[in-house]
Amino acid sequence: MENINKSIQCTVEQCRHHCVNCDYCSLDRIRIGTHESNPSQDQCTDCLSFSAAY
Ligand code: SF4
């Protein structure tokens, strides 16, 4: 049974760290960053712990 971290909600089902059949991450912690020089909205941020599903 994989870990479900209820402190990290996530809807990215294509990530290998996404728990099956629930909207949570399975990692203990994640790293967030940005690809923008001056982020101004949520689309500017990225989950740097994302990893494509198998
Ligand atoms: S690593 Fe990031 S994208 Fe992947 S399930 Fe966790 S929070 Fe979502």
pLDDT tens digits along 12-31: 999 999 999 999 999 999 99
- Give 32 Cα–ligand 1 centroid separation in angstroms: 10
| Token pair recorded at residue 23 | 């909207």
Residue 24 CA: nearest ligand 1 atom is 5
> What average pLDDT does the segment 36-48 reach?
98
d(C-alpha 3, C-alpha 11), whole Å? 16
> What average pLDDT does the segment 33-39 reach?
97
If we measure between CA atoms, which residue out of 28, 20, 9 comes closest to residue 53? 20
The domain spans of the chain are 5-47
If we measure between CA atoms, which residue out of 27, 24, 20, 30 comes closest to residue 10? 24
What pLDDT, on a 0 to 100 scale, did the predictor assign at position 19? 94
- Give 20 Cα–ligand 1 centroid separation in angstroms: 12
Q: What is the value of pTM for the model shown?
A: 0.90
d(C-alpha 22, C-alpha 32), whole Å? 21
Within 13 A of 15's CA, how many CA atoms are on the CB side? 20
